[in-house]
Chains A and B, each alone.
Chain A
Amino acid sequence: MGSLNIENVKKAFGPVEVLKGIDLEVTDGEFVVFVGPSGCGKSTLLRVIAGLEDSTSGRVLIDGDDVSVTPPAKRGIAMVFQTYALYPHLTVKNNMGLGLKQAGTPSAEIDRRIKIASAMLSLEPYLERRPAELSGGQRQRVAIGRAVVREPKLFLFDEPLSNLDAALRVNTRLEIAQLHRRLKATMIYVTHDQVEAMTLADKIVVLNAGRIEQIGSPMELYNSPANDFVAGFIGSPKMNFIDGAKLGETAKTVGVRPEHLTVDAKSGAWKGTVVHAEHLGADTNLYLDCEKAGLLTVRIFGVYNAEPGATLYATPDPAKTYRFGADGKVLK
């Protein structure tokens, strides 16, 4: 239980086409992350799956059943929202139990499930509190707990970590990963943060302007991006793109990740001056203005001392250099 099929789903708001034909297959127990820049349609796609928006055309199947006209509550899904969306007038316990109560579940069963979920998310001390009396991280855990008690076929997460501060974000990310491992449920997760995508996903779906650019495991996307958009979106700092003509290459653009460049003070492929250096402790990001290649980001592991204005030579790793054609697709 818990598979999802999306067949040629399109969504338009008036003349604006937000989703331009999406096909996707999610198997039971997978953790799928939709990632893409703002406005790429990832949240809209999630809403179509949830039934909060109707698709203009196409079908959504959960466990093989066409749910295109099924109301959200009957689809066997649960959703966690960016803004938590807890019911302000209900206690934590009632927040978690409301969906089951509406579905007519016996109260003993509701209590049992709340007990399990609150133990899982260490929410037991807060069961009688109202959302206003909780911190941001606790509220998001309640929202996750509200999804867990429904024992849904599909978990939908809509940017659940965006409202949390950096430290809590890492913790909650870990909790979601553990939750997935424990429940073995199918989860669909929307984010614009590629780090979340890389760390959580079994399968990443990269969306751009209403289309799927590429589907694959995090390492597939990192090692063999299908086009320049995916190459630029996955990985941090971003891949360097160099005009092929300047390098005398036939390819339109040449891409090389900052971590696949090495620097040397004496010799190398591209001569440049240091514009700025960011020292992060574990690694150092150098910004080099190269004569041939333009502004490059170089990521060096460990500490590297370079003053702005110094001359350095950057050399790309030829095995990890990508060439993109005029249409943006990678050239083999």
Chain B
Amino acid sequence: MSATTRIFDPTAPAGDLPQLARRTLDGLIGKTIGFIDNAKPNFNFLVEDLAAEFVKNHGVKALVTRRKRGASIPADDAMIREIAARCDIVITGSGD
């Protein structure tokens, strides 16, 4: 039997931040949807088309669209507060 030694795990667990309750909804009808446009090319067009789809085909009542300064930075606090106060659902984007 070969000798053994012990080594430390250099990683830290991800996801050990408090897990909070999230709101649930039964559908889109009558809801207000907020978009945070991440300023990547084409996301503004997707937001525009989704907004039209939601109103025309999914019974969405109102839309709030805001644009971040850039994809690699968080939305500013005022934008988050405003959109959180006004919307039932908030849609963001990630990727290229």
Whether chain B is bound by chain A comes out as no
Chain A residues with CB under 8 Å of chain B are none
Chain B residues with CB under 8 Å of chain A are none
